[in-house]
Amino acid sequence: MKQLSLQWRITIMTALLTCAACVLTNCLVGYTGMRYMDAIGSDISAFNATGEDSPQAFDPTKAALDDKVTIVVNDAQESFGTTAWCITAWVTLLGGVLAYFVSGRALKPLRAFAAQVERVQPDNLREIKLNEDVPAELQRCSASFNDMIARLGEGFSAQQQFTGNAAHELRTPLALMQAQIELFVSEHPASQPDTAELLGLLQEQTERMSRMIKVLLEMSKLHSVPCEDAVELGPLSEEVLADLAPLAENKGVTLDCAGDALTIGSDTLLYQLVFNLVENAIRYSHPGSTVSVSICDTDSHVFLRVKDQGPGIPKQHRESIFQPFFRLDKSRSRAYGGAGLGLALVWEIAALHGGTAEVEASSENGTTMLVSFPKRTPA
C-alpha cells in the first residue's frame, strides 16, 4: 500500500467504502424485501384458502400451501437477491472508476506543483519561482519552498562569488612565486642535489596550484556563458584529440573518434568538457591502450561516450568522483597531475546544458564515461 500513488490509494479506499455501503444496503433491503414477499405470499394463500382462517405468515417449506404460489415467491426472492448483488458489484466498480478520475482531477494541482519542483536546478535558482496560485492546502508549502529556493540561490551565489574572488586573488601572488622560482633555477643551474630537488618540488606544486586556480575561475564564470550555439560534437571532439595528441604519444595511448551529433550549447564549454574527459582517460590509461570517443543521438537525447582501458573505478566511488577535490588515490592523482576538479567541471558543464554526466560502465578492463544532453533545435 505504501508503494501506491496517492490517486490509487484514494481510489481503493473509495471503492472499499462504496462496496461496504452497497453490501450493507443490500442486506437491509434484501431482508426487508424478503419480509414483504412473505407477507404477499401469506395474503395470496389466505385469499385462495376460502373458508379457512387466514395464515399469519407465508412459509414456502409447508407442503399444504399452494405450490404455484410457493414457486412464484421463491423465484421472486432469488431474482431479487441476484439482482441486488449484481447492482452492488456494478455500483462498486462504477464508484471505483469515478473515484479514480475524480481524484486524478482533484490531485492535478499537486502534480503541477511537483512538476514545478522538478524544474528547480542549481543553475536556475535565481530565475525560477513556484506559482503560489494553488489550492489552500498547498499555498503554505509553495511559499515556504520559494523562500527556501531564494535562500539557496543566495547561498550558491555567495559561494560562487567567494570562489571566484579567492581564485582571482591567489592567481597574482602565485604567478610571482612561479616567476621567482623559475628565475632562481635559471640563475643557479649548478645547485646542490637537495636544493634542485626542492626547487623541482616547488615548481611542480605551484604549477598544480595554478591549474587548480584556473579551473576554479572557470567554474565561477560558468553561469555567465551563453549556451545557445549550434555545436557539432564530432569535429569538436576531433579538435580535442588533435590538441591532446602529444600527451597521448608520450603515454603511448592511441586516440580514436567516431560519430557525430548536433547539440545546442556553448562551444567553449563543450570543448572543455570533452577535453577534460579525454585528458583524464589518457592519464589513467595503460601504455599501449586506446582511448575512444563515440557520439550518437536519438530523437530526444545526444550521447557522448569516452572509453579508456585504465584500472577502473570502484562502484562505491562512481558518483563521488564528480565532487570537487575528490580523488580515489591521492598519491596516484598527484603523480598524474590531477587536482580533483576536472570531472567536477565536467558535471557542472553538463548540468548547465541540461544534461548529466555519469560512469556508464567500469571494470578492471577500463571505464566508459557517459554524458547525455537533451536534444534541442537551434533557435
Q: Is residue 115 part of a domain?
A: no
Q: Does 46 share its domain with 178?
A: no
Question: Rounded to a whole number, what is the distance in angstroms from the first to the last CA of the chain?
Answer: 46
Instruction: Please write the tens of the pLDDT for every residue from 269-294.
Output: 898 899 999 999 998 888 999 999 99
The residue from 89, 106, 123 where one domain ends is 106
d(CA 227, CA 351): 12
Question: Residues 203, 231: one domain?
Answer: no
> Would the CA dihedral through 275, 281, 285, 290 be positive or negative?
negative
CA–CA dist 265, 104 (Å, integer): 38
Which DSSP helix (H) or strand (E) runs through 265?
Answer: strand 262-265
Which of 180, 203, 220 terminates a domain? The answer is 220
Q: Tell me the pLDDT tens digit for each residue of 140-196.
A: 777 888 888 888 777 777 776 776 677 777 777 888 888 888 888 888 777 778 888
Distance CA 331, CA 316 (A): 19
Same domain, 213 and 267: no
In a domain, 135, yes or no: no
Looking at the structure, do residues 36 and 51 belong to the same domain, yes or no? yes
Cα separation, 274 vs 240, whole angstroms: 7
Whole-number Å distance between alpha carbons of 357 and 9: 36
Q: From 341, 236, 337, 324, select the one nearest 282 (Cα to Cα).
A: 337
User: What's the sign of the alpha-carbon dihedral 49, 53, 59, 61?
Assistant: negative
279 neighbors 351 (Cβ within 8 angstroms): no
Count structural domains, the chain: 3
Q: 59 with 27, same domain?
A: yes
Look at residue 138 and tell me if it is in a domain.
no
Whether 356 and 240 share a structural domain: yes
How many helices (H) and strands (E) in the chain?
10, 7
Tell me: do 236 and 333 sit in the same domain.
yes
pLDDT value at position 326? 73
pLDDT value of position 233: 92
Decide if 178 is inside a domain.
yes
Q: Which domain holds residue 274?
A: 225-374
The DSSP symbol for 286 reads: P
Whether residues 265 and 334 share a domain: the answer is yes
Res 51: pLDDT:
47
Predicted confidence at residue 56, as pLDDT, reads: 47
Which of 220, 250, 269 terminates a domain? The answer is 220
- Same domain for 316 and 214, yes or no, is no
Q: Which residues contact 207 (CB under 8 A, 6 or more apart)?
A: 178
Tell me the whole-structure pTM to 2 decimals.
Answer: 0.55
Q: Is 80 a member of any domain?
A: yes
Per-position DSSP letters for 191-236, written without gaps between them: --HHHHHHHHHHHHHHHHHHHHHHHHHHHHTGGGS---EEEEHHHH
Is 139 a domain residue?
no
Report pLDDT for 144. Answer: 81
Same domain, 229 and 215: no
Per the DSSP assignment, residues forming a β-bridge with 232 are 262
Residue 126 lies in a domain: no
Per the domain annotation, does 294 fall within a domain? yes
Same domain, 333 and 370: yes
CATH number of the domain that residue 309 is part of = 3.30.565.10
Query: Within this chain, do residues 176 and 232 fall inside the same structural domain, yes or no?
Result: no
Q: Which positions of the chain have pLDDT values less than 50?
A: 50-52, 54-58, 63-65, 331-335
